[in-house]
Protein backbone atom coordinates (compact mmCIF):
# COMPACT_ATOMS: atom_id res chain seq x y z
CA UNK A 1 0.00 0.00 0.00
CA UNK A 2 1.28 3.45 -0.95
CA UNK A 3 1.75 5.49 2.22
CA UNK A 4 2.99 8.64 0.49
CA UNK A 5 1.06 11.77 1.36
CA UNK A 6 -1.19 13.43 -1.23
CA UNK A 7 -0.47 17.16 -1.59
CA UNK A 8 -2.64 20.00 -2.91
CA UNK A 9 -0.71 23.16 -3.78
CA UNK A 10 -2.28 26.42 -4.97
CA UNK A 11 -0.60 29.01 -7.18
CA UNK A 12 1.82 26.72 -8.97
CA UNK A 13 2.46 27.97 -12.51
CA UNK A 14 5.74 29.54 -11.36
CA UNK A 15 7.88 30.46 -8.38
CA UNK A 16 7.88 28.61 -5.08
CA UNK A 17 4.67 26.76 -5.94
CA UNK A 18 6.11 25.32 -9.14
CA UNK A 19 9.38 24.38 -7.44
CA UNK A 20 7.42 22.58 -4.73
CA UNK A 21 5.30 20.64 -7.23
CA UNK A 22 8.35 19.47 -9.18
CA UNK A 23 10.23 18.50 -6.02
CA UNK A 24 7.25 16.57 -4.65
CA UNK A 25 6.87 14.63 -7.89
CA UNK A 26 10.59 13.85 -7.91
CA UNK A 27 10.17 12.40 -4.41
CA UNK A 28 7.30 10.18 -5.54
CA UNK A 29 4.38 12.05 -4.00
CA UNK A 30 0.96 12.42 -5.62
CA UNK A 31 0.34 16.07 -6.30
CA UNK A 32 -2.68 18.17 -7.23
CA UNK A 33 -1.81 21.70 -8.26
CA UNK A 34 -3.94 24.73 -9.05
CA UNK A 35 -3.32 27.64 -11.37
CA UNK A 36 -5.29 30.35 -13.13
CA UNK A 37 -3.79 29.01 -16.38
CA UNK A 38 -4.00 25.28 -16.93
CA UNK A 39 -1.85 25.46 -20.07
CA UNK A 40 0.96 27.26 -18.26
CA UNK A 41 0.88 24.70 -15.46
CA UNK A 42 0.84 21.67 -17.77
CA UNK A 43 3.64 23.12 -19.90
CA UNK A 44 5.77 23.82 -16.83
CA UNK A 45 5.35 20.38 -15.24
CA UNK A 46 4.47 18.00 -18.07
CA UNK A 47 2.06 15.09 -17.94
CA UNK A 48 2.66 12.58 -15.15
CA UNK A 49 0.45 9.88 -13.65
CA UNK A 50 0.94 11.26 -10.13
CA UNK A 51 0.14 14.83 -11.19
CA UNK A 52 -3.32 16.40 -11.29
CA UNK A 53 -3.36 19.94 -12.74
CA UNK A 54 -6.44 21.98 -11.86
CA UNK A 55 -7.71 25.30 -13.16
CA UNK A 56 -9.36 26.88 -10.13
CA UNK A 57 -10.84 30.26 -9.28
CA UNK A 58 -9.94 30.58 -5.61
CA UNK A 59 -12.49 33.38 -5.23
CA UNK A 60 -15.28 30.96 -6.17
CA UNK A 61 -16.23 28.52 -3.41
CA UNK A 62 -17.85 26.12 -5.86
CA UNK A 63 -14.70 26.05 -7.98
CA UNK A 64 -12.59 25.32 -4.91
CA UNK A 65 -14.97 22.62 -3.68
CA UNK A 66 -15.03 20.98 -7.11
CA UNK A 67 -11.24 20.90 -7.25
CA UNK A 68 -10.98 19.20 -3.87
CA UNK A 69 -13.56 16.64 -4.98
CA UNK A 70 -11.40 15.93 -8.02
CA UNK A 71 -8.36 15.39 -5.79
CA UNK A 72 -10.28 12.89 -3.65
CA UNK A 73 -11.70 11.09 -6.69
CA UNK A 74 -8.27 10.85 -8.31
CA UNK A 75 -6.04 9.99 -5.36
CA UNK A 76 -8.50 8.72 -2.73
CA UNK A 77 -7.41 11.08 0.05
CA UNK A 78 -5.77 14.41 0.81
CA UNK A 79 -3.05 14.97 3.38
CA UNK A 80 -1.21 18.25 2.87
CA UNK A 81 -2.68 21.55 1.66
CA UNK A 82 -0.32 24.37 0.69
CA UNK A 83 -1.96 27.78 0.32
CA UNK A 84 0.66 29.43 -1.85
CA UNK A 85 -1.43 31.52 -4.29
CA UNK A 86 -1.04 35.26 -3.92
CA UNK A 87 0.60 38.37 -5.31
CA UNK A 88 2.35 41.52 -4.15
CA UNK A 89 0.74 44.95 -4.18
CA UNK A 90 2.91 48.04 -4.03
CA UNK A 91 1.66 51.48 -3.07
CA UNK A 92 1.52 53.64 0.04
CA UNK A 93 -1.68 53.65 2.08
CA UNK A 94 -2.64 57.03 0.65
CA UNK A 95 -1.93 56.02 -2.93
CA UNK A 96 -3.56 52.62 -3.07
CA UNK A 97 -7.23 52.53 -4.04
CA UNK A 98 -10.03 50.73 -2.25
CA UNK A 99 -10.37 48.35 -5.20
CA UNK A 100 -6.64 47.55 -5.24
CA UNK A 101 -6.63 46.90 -1.50
CA UNK A 102 -9.69 44.66 -1.58
CA UNK A 103 -8.42 42.64 -4.52
CA UNK A 104 -5.14 41.95 -2.71
CA UNK A 105 -7.06 40.75 0.35
CA UNK A 106 -9.42 38.70 -1.84
CA UNK A 107 -6.57 36.71 -3.38
CA UNK A 108 -4.11 36.56 -0.48
CA UNK A 109 -6.60 36.05 2.37
CA UNK A 110 -10.13 35.16 1.30
CA UNK A 111 -9.00 32.73 -1.40
CA UNK A 112 -6.90 30.97 1.24
CA UNK A 113 -9.93 30.84 3.55
CA UNK A 114 -12.01 29.21 0.81
CA UNK A 115 -9.43 26.45 0.45
CA UNK A 116 -9.29 25.89 4.22
CA UNK A 117 -13.09 25.90 4.53
CA UNK A 118 -13.57 23.32 1.77
CA UNK A 119 -10.69 20.98 2.65
CA UNK A 120 -10.90 20.96 6.45
CA UNK A 121 -13.97 18.65 6.61
CA UNK A 122 -11.98 15.90 4.85
CA UNK A 123 -8.86 16.30 6.98
CA UNK A 124 -10.94 16.49 10.15
CA UNK A 125 -12.86 13.34 9.21
CA UNK A 126 -9.68 11.34 8.62
CA UNK A 127 -8.17 12.76 11.85
CA UNK A 128 -4.98 13.85 10.11
CA UNK A 129 -3.60 16.45 7.76
CA UNK A 130 -1.43 19.52 7.48
CA UNK A 131 -1.97 23.06 6.22
CA UNK A 132 0.96 25.19 5.07
CA UNK A 133 -0.09 28.81 4.66
CA UNK A 134 2.55 30.81 2.81
CA UNK A 135 2.80 34.27 4.34
CA UNK A 136 5.98 36.35 4.05
CA UNK A 137 8.51 37.94 6.36
CA UNK A 138 6.23 40.88 5.55
CA UNK A 139 3.69 39.10 7.76
CA UNK A 140 5.87 39.91 10.77
CA UNK A 141 7.76 43.03 9.68
CA UNK A 142 5.83 45.72 7.80
CA UNK A 143 8.39 48.52 7.76
CA UNK A 144 8.76 48.39 3.98
CA UNK A 145 7.48 51.72 2.57
CA UNK A 146 4.88 51.09 -0.11
CA UNK A 147 4.03 47.53 0.96
CA UNK A 148 1.58 48.23 3.78
CA UNK A 149 -1.50 46.57 2.29
CA UNK A 150 0.45 43.54 1.07
CA UNK A 151 2.03 43.14 4.51
CA UNK A 152 -1.42 43.49 6.10
CA UNK A 153 -2.67 40.55 4.02
CA UNK A 154 0.24 38.47 5.28
CA UNK A 155 -0.30 39.55 8.89
CA UNK A 156 -3.85 38.25 8.39
CA UNK A 157 -2.50 34.93 7.11
CA UNK A 158 -0.40 34.62 10.27
CA UNK A 159 -3.39 35.25 12.53
CA UNK A 160 -5.60 32.83 10.63
CA UNK A 161 -2.95 30.12 10.79
CA UNK A 162 -2.47 30.50 14.53
CA UNK A 163 -6.23 30.03 14.98
CA UNK A 164 -6.23 27.09 12.54
CA UNK A 165 -3.41 25.46 14.50
CA UNK A 166 -5.50 25.60 17.67
CA UNK A 167 -8.79 24.60 16.05
CA UNK A 168 -7.34 21.72 14.06
CA UNK A 169 -5.20 20.28 16.84
CA UNK A 170 -7.92 18.18 18.50
CA UNK A 171 -8.56 16.48 15.13
CA UNK A 172 -4.93 15.70 14.38
CA UNK A 173 -4.69 18.48 11.78
CA UNK A 174 -1.49 20.54 11.86
CA UNK A 175 -0.97 24.09 10.60
CA UNK A 176 2.24 25.92 9.74
CA UNK A 177 2.60 29.54 8.68
CA UNK A 178 5.63 30.06 6.44
CA UNK A 179 7.53 33.35 6.39
CA UNK A 180 9.80 33.35 3.31
CA UNK A 181 12.38 36.06 2.91
CA UNK A 182 13.50 37.05 -0.59
CA UNK A 183 13.53 34.00 -2.87
CA UNK A 184 14.80 33.95 -6.43
CA UNK A 185 11.43 33.63 -8.18
CA UNK A 186 9.31 35.79 -10.46
CA UNK A 187 7.57 37.41 -7.45
CA UNK A 188 9.05 40.84 -8.23
CA UNK A 189 7.97 40.67 -11.88
CA UNK A 190 5.20 42.90 -13.25
CA UNK A 191 2.73 40.01 -13.17
CA UNK A 192 3.30 39.15 -9.51
CA UNK A 193 4.03 42.59 -8.06
CA UNK A 194 1.42 45.17 -8.99
CA UNK A 195 2.11 48.88 -8.70
CA UNK A 196 -0.45 51.38 -7.45
CA UNK A 197 -2.21 53.22 -10.25
CA UNK A 198 -2.08 56.55 -8.39
CA UNK A 199 1.59 56.77 -7.50
CA UNK A 200 2.70 60.06 -5.89
CA UNK A 201 6.24 61.37 -6.21
CA UNK A 202 6.00 62.98 -2.75
CA UNK A 203 6.57 59.50 -1.29
CA UNK A 204 10.29 59.39 -2.07
CA UNK A 205 10.99 56.41 0.25
CA UNK A 206 8.30 54.30 -1.42
CA UNK A 207 9.54 55.17 -4.91
CA UNK A 208 13.09 54.24 -3.93
CA UNK A 209 11.88 50.98 -2.39
CA UNK A 210 9.98 50.25 -5.59
CA UNK A 211 13.08 50.91 -7.69
CA UNK A 212 15.25 48.85 -5.35
CA UNK A 213 12.97 45.82 -5.58
CA UNK A 214 12.60 46.02 -9.34
CA UNK A 215 16.18 46.86 -10.30
CA UNK A 216 18.49 45.51 -7.60
CA UNK A 217 16.78 42.83 -5.52
CA UNK A 218 15.05 41.05 -8.43
CA UNK A 219 17.35 38.31 -9.70
CA UNK A 220 19.70 38.60 -6.73
CA UNK A 221 17.53 37.14 -3.96
CA UNK A 222 19.29 34.91 -1.45
CA UNK A 223 16.63 32.20 -1.29
CA UNK A 224 16.66 29.04 -3.40
CA UNK A 225 13.06 27.87 -4.03
CA UNK A 226 14.12 24.24 -4.51
CA UNK A 227 15.74 24.24 -1.07
CA UNK A 228 12.58 25.78 0.36
CA UNK A 229 10.56 22.94 -1.18
CA UNK A 230 12.79 20.37 0.51
CA UNK A 231 12.27 22.08 3.86
CA UNK A 232 8.48 22.04 3.50
CA UNK A 233 8.58 18.30 2.77
CA UNK A 234 10.79 17.71 5.80
CA UNK A 235 8.41 19.65 8.05
CA UNK A 236 5.38 17.82 6.63
CA UNK A 237 7.00 14.49 7.45
CA UNK A 238 7.97 15.47 11.01
CA UNK A 239 6.03 14.23 14.02
CA UNK A 240 5.74 17.67 15.64
CA UNK A 241 5.74 20.31 12.87
CA UNK A 242 6.36 23.91 13.82
CA UNK A 243 3.57 26.48 13.81
CA UNK A 244 5.97 29.25 12.71
CA UNK A 245 8.55 28.56 10.00
CA UNK A 246 10.98 31.23 8.76
CA UNK A 247 12.74 30.53 5.45
CA UNK A 248 15.94 32.31 4.53
CA UNK A 249 18.71 33.90 6.56
CA UNK A 250 17.25 37.31 5.71
CA UNK A 251 13.84 36.33 7.12
CA UNK A 252 15.51 34.93 10.24
CA UNK A 253 17.46 38.14 10.76
CA UNK A 254 14.46 40.43 10.30
CA UNK A 255 12.31 38.30 12.59
CA UNK A 256 14.99 38.29 15.26
CA UNK A 257 15.26 42.09 15.11
CA UNK A 258 11.46 42.45 15.33
CA UNK A 259 11.39 40.28 18.46
CA UNK A 260 14.08 42.47 20.06
CA UNK A 261 12.12 45.60 19.15
CA UNK A 262 8.93 44.16 20.66
CA UNK A 263 10.70 43.08 23.84
CA UNK A 264 12.23 46.54 24.26
CA UNK A 265 8.87 48.25 23.76
CA UNK A 266 7.13 45.77 26.05
CA UNK A 267 9.51 46.32 28.95
CA UNK A 268 9.78 50.10 28.43
CA UNK A 269 6.02 50.43 28.82
CA UNK A 270 5.45 47.72 31.41
CA UNK A 271 4.33 50.19 34.09
CA UNK A 272 1.82 51.76 31.69
CA UNK A 273 0.53 48.32 30.69
CA UNK A 274 -0.04 47.29 34.31
CA UNK A 275 -1.56 50.69 35.24
CA UNK A 276 -4.75 50.01 33.26
CA UNK A 277 -5.89 47.07 35.46
CA UNK A 278 -8.62 47.43 38.06
CA UNK A 279 -6.95 47.59 41.48
CA UNK A 280 -8.92 44.63 42.80
Active site residue 150: yes
CB under 8 A, 24+ apart: contacts of 186-194: 186/14, 186/15, 187/15, 187/88, 188/88, 188/213, 188/214, 188/217, 188/218, 189/218, 191/87, 192/14, 192/15, 192/87, 192/88, 193/87, 193/88, 193/89, 193/90, 194/87, 194/88, 194/89, 194/90, 194/100
Catalytic-labelled residue, pool 29, 87, 150, 179: 150
Q: Cite the DSSP H helix spans in the chain.
A: 15-26, 38-45, 61-75, 98-105, 111-126, 148-168, 204-212, 225-236, 249-268, 270-274
Q: How many CB atoms lie within 10 A of CB 150?
A: 27
- Which positions are catalytic? 150
Amino acid sequence: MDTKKVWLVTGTSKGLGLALVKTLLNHGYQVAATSRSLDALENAVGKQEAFLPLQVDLMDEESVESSISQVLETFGHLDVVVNNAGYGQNGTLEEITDAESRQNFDVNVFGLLNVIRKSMPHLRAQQSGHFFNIASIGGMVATFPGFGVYCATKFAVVGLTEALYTEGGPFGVHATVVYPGYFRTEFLSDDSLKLAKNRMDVYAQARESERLHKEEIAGNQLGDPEKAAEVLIKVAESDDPALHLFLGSDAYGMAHQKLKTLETALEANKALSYSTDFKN
